[in-house]
Amino acid sequence: MSALELPPAAAAPDASPALSLEPEGTAEVRGYIGMVMGDLKPDEKQTEALIEEFFELREIPLSSPKALAVRQALLPAKAAAETVSAARLDPRLRRHRATVLKLAREHRTTPSEVEAVLKRRGLLPYAAVMEEEAFRHQAERTLDRAELQNVVASYPDNPQGRFMRGVADDMSDHSGSSAEEISRDGVFAYIDFSGRTVVQASSGRNPDQNLCQMVFYITRREDRWRIGGYRQNKRSGLKDPELERSLRDWLTSGGVPGADLE
């Protein structure tokens, strides 16, 4: 080899790894899902819940471009179907696409029905200017109220039916004189008995009402009303479960379906 000839240069190693085609944050979310699930393979529902949890813990809106892109990467079929649903939404709701879709899943309904409820309740005109958290809060309360009112709408127009409509109204109206009362998911029933017979019934959010004989606590779980004994203001000689049964008997005798009670 002459002095002017140089050996062929060795190919330089590629110092930059191949760029990932996945959206930013996808690997982090995969890692989070793996950390939570361990060796178990999550199904679609679990994956969806963990994606939402990942972004909510980091206070990143589910409607942000990053969250939507990651969700599309990890749940492509579901994201594609939701894109079709979201395209049919009123333009004022499209910026809240992820929240509307999530509420539809949680309430076991469709995005179009969520839109219909919000429209009936007058929330739609304000959606376009509401921040995500404020919209989510108002939409959740609106849907909860609509669901409760739908349940009790078919109850008879008698004391039992009117009492349950009052329970539904109080349950969906988060008001009170303290933070605890406002945040409480159930309501109190104020009942007076004559022996085992209900003679007066009303409801409210105040746990300290002491003018009635018995205070019950009513919650709603898995589409059923749950009645629990809370406090006897005036001892009747009967135990809480006996008075609870008397209240249930009074409700069902007035046409409230027994299947609606836990």
Looking at residue 153, its pLDDT comes to 93
pLDDT at 175: 63
Mean pLDDT of the chain: 85
* pLDDT tens, the chain, 262 aa long: 444 444 444 444 444 444 557 888 899 999 999 999 998 999 988 998 899 899 989 988 877 888 888 988 998 888 888 778 878 899 999 889 888 988 988 888 888 999 999 998 888 889 989 998 899 888 988 898 898 898 999 999 999 999 999 999 998 876 655 556 556 678 999 999 999 999 999 999 888 888 999 999 999 988 899 998 788 888 878 888 999 999 999 999 999 999 999 9
- Cα 261 to Cα 216: distance, rounded to the nearest angstrom: 14
Would you state the pLDDT for residue 222? 83
Handedness of CA 99, 105, 107, 112 (dihedral sign): positive
* H or E segment and range at residue 32: helix 26-37
Q: What gap in Å lies between CA 144 and CA 139, rounded to an integer?
A: 9
Mutual angle of helices 159-172 and 132-153, in 10-degree steps:
170
